[in-house]
Amino acid sequence: MEPKPRSPTQTNIPLTMKAQLLKAYNTRYELHTLETPLLSAASDPHDMLIKVTAASYCHTDHVLASGGMPGLPPRFPHIGCHEFAGEIVALSPASTPDTIKYKVGDRVGVPGRAFHPCGKCFECSSSSSGSSSNSSAFATKEQDPPGYSVYCPHALNLGISSPGGFREYAIVDSRQVALIPEEISDIQASAMMCAGLTIYAALKKCISACRPNSSLDGAKDLYIGIIGCGGGLGHLGLQFAIAMGFKAILGLDNSDGPLRLARHSAGQLATIIEEGTDQDVTLEIIDAREYPSPENLAVSFNAKYVTRYREPPASSNERNEVGLDAVIILPESQKAFDYGVGLLKNHGKCIVVSFPKEGFHLSAQDLVFRDITVMGSLVGSNKLLKEMLDFAARKQVKARIKTFPLEGLNDLVDEYHKAEGGKLVVDMKKKSATSN
Ligand SMILES: NC(=O)c1ccc[n+]([C@@H]2O[C@H](COP(=O)([O-])OP(=O)(O)OC[C@H]3O[C@@H](n4cnc5c(N)ncnc54)[C@H](OP(=O)(O)O)[C@@H]3O)[C@@H](O)[C@H]2O)c1
Ligand SMILES: [Zn+2]
Ligand SMILES: [Zn+2]
């Protein structure tokens, strides 16, 4: 291969790198050697080259790889992974201290959104980024400054509409990343870039939707539910919710591994928090298989947490006066959606995070007669990303992680389908025993 001209800061970077390629929907990843993407004088002034150290697998990687996001990826072969971490090894030669506030050697976490936003569209220039749900003062606080928006329709999404983190080197946009706090490893940080940020933002949306003018202290009198609480997002969500100080948290899942994980990780953090503060954590993790409907849960389950249902519950209009203030929907099934909405009290907020191809069926009765609000939540702003990492470091929120070498990405995918819960991460330092 002809050596190509490089900027002086890139002389130590190998000209080739390993990458896992997806060549078609519903196929295995293939390990290939590719040219390393290098920065040039023509690079965007916000661009930085990072050496990827950890690349986390998200359910959306599975959805994309199985053809569940029509039109995406725009072309094959594709490099997946929209949540990763790495060390900065070079800055765009066109950069200035205004375009890049980081230096070579910094550890950064990279969410897929938003690579090269246009800076000019409605989303980038107006005050809409960070929350499309309302224009409250609280929502405004969550936004990025004008010029950058994770909703920019012209931006690329690393790992989804452009190459992502399942490779040794990647060019990222300095506006989309966050410095990783000392207390957090690259592997932990990678798992927080989509899962952590998304669930953190969804929890804050529960607060802003129910208590529009409050900040985190709005959580203290709210009862919330997390449906799918033992999955990648869910087990982090339970921990963030405990640390945010919600009055009561109800987690539901429907399989053994995720339920074990939810009880373990949330229980551990609840103990730490109860010992360190005077907060009394009210947390219940429910096996949805044992309680097939919200009414059934109310009747059978006699914990202090669900006394809001009163006894006898589910009778006539009384059912409408009690229930949760907000629920977050993480599974893709209609059953889970219906369960979540059923747990809400009248005027409750349903925050949808999953996006099944076939969508969800909404009961007009719930919307009209119970005034239920359904709203979506899309990852989170760069401002929230930084806030989330700092919060996770302070409150000891941690993903349960199993690591694999880059060569073992297909093993990771096989493990994902065992549905044990938690996060699966490619650790670039890990050596494989066998290659795939
Ligand atoms: N909005 C955004 O910006 C955004 C960002 C990231 C991810 N997402 C989406 O968020 C969703 C959650 O991601 P994830 O990584 O946490 O997925 P996950 O690990 O598969 O977690 C979902 C959990 O829900 C459980 N579940 C399924 N049906 C249930 C039911 N009826 N009742 C209770 N629990 C049930 C699952 O159990 P089983 O495994 O047994 O089914 C699993 O433990 C995915 O759809 C993903 O695509 C959205
Ligand atoms: Zn994701
Ligand atoms: Zn834009």
Give per-residue pLDDT as tens, 373-384: 999 999 999 999
295 has pLDDT over 50: yes
Tell me which of 65-74, 176-185, 289-298 is least confident: 289-298
Q: Which of 81, 330, 358 to mutate to test the pocket of ligand 1 (most atoms within 8 A of CB)?
A: 330
253 lines ligand 1 (CB under 6 A): yes
* Residue where the block lists tokens 């096996």: 287
Residue 89 token pair = 């090894």
Q: Which residue, judged by its Cα, is nearest atom 36 of ligand 1?
A: 228
210 lines ligand 1 (CB under 6 A): no
Q: Which of 354, 401, 415 to mutate to test the pocket of ligand 1 (most atoms within 8 A of CB)?
A: 354
Mean pLDDT of 384-413: 97
Tell me which of 24-28, 101-105, 343-347 is least confident: 343-347
Give per-residue pLDDT as tens, 284-294: 899 999 988 88
Give per-residue pLDDT as tens, 241-279: 999 999 889 999 999 999 999 999 898 888 888 888 877
193 burial class (0-12, 13-18, 19+ CB within 10 angstroms)?
A: buried
| 3-state per-residue secondary structure call for 241-276 | HHHHCCCEEEEEECCHHHHHHHHHHHHHHHHHHHHH
CA distances from residue 364 to 174, 227, 315 in whole angstroms, order as listed: 44, 21, 21
Whole-angstrom Cα distance, residue 126 to residue 375?
Answer: 21
CA distances from residue 394 to 84, 128, 214, 244, 287 in whole angstroms, order as listed: 21, 29, 21, 12, 30
pLDDT of residue 26: 98
Tell me the CA–centroid distance for residue 217 and ligand 3, in Å: 33
pLDDT of residue 7: 55
CA distances from residue 321 to 343, 362, 432 in whole angstroms, order as listed: 11, 21, 56
pLDDT band at 432 (very low <50, low <70, confident <90, very high): confident
Give per-residue pLDDT as tens, 72-100: 999 999 999 999 999 999 999 999 999 99
What pTM did the predictor assign? 0.92
132 has pLDDT over 90: no
Mean pLDDT of 55-80: 96
196 has pLDDT over 90: yes
pLDDT band at 61 (very low <50, low <70, confident <90, very high): very high
pLDDT of residue 307: 40
The number of the ligand 1 atom at minimal distance from the alpha carbon of 331 is 24
Tell me the CA–centroid distance for residue 227 and ligand 3, in Å: 33
pLDDT of residue 293: 82
Q: All domains of the chain, ordered by start, with CATH? A: 8-191+380-427 (3.90.180.10), 198-376 (3.40.50.720)
pLDDT band at 322 (very low <50, low <70, confident <90, very high): low
59 lines ligand 1 (CB under 6 A): yes
Highest mean pLDDT among 127-141, 260-274, 306-320 belongs to 260-274
